[in-house]
Amino acid sequence: MQVQVEKRYYTPEEYCQLEETAAYKNEYLDGEIIPMVGTTTNHNLIAGNFYKNFPTKINNEDYWAFMSDVRLWI
């Protein structure tokens, strides 16, 4: 017998509050909170190369480039 679990939907504000104290990173998509899985060696190599070669100025505008360990609110 399968037990159905009702999905809970969160507001962006609820998600932000939960993320402030979360032990791991989550993704917010259409009201759902989805745990983000760990990374692979290949992913880290690609991300590192991208970060190393990313320009800090594009069209005379300053930009910040972050590695994956930063929680980012867009």
Claim: this prediction has a pTM higher than 0.85: no
In a domain, 67, yes or no: no
Task: Please give the tally of structural domains in the chain.
Answer: 1
pLDDT digits (tens, 9 = 90+) for 32-72: 999 988 778 898 898 888 888 887 777 788 877 777 667 77
Q: Which two tokens stand for residue 3?
A: 């037990």
In a domain, 68, yes or no: no
Nearest to 54 by CA among 39, 67, 41: 67
Nearest to 49 by CA among 59, 41, 57: 41
Instruction: Tell me the residue type at 27.
Output: E
Residue 39: domain span: 12-62
In a domain, 72, yes or no: no
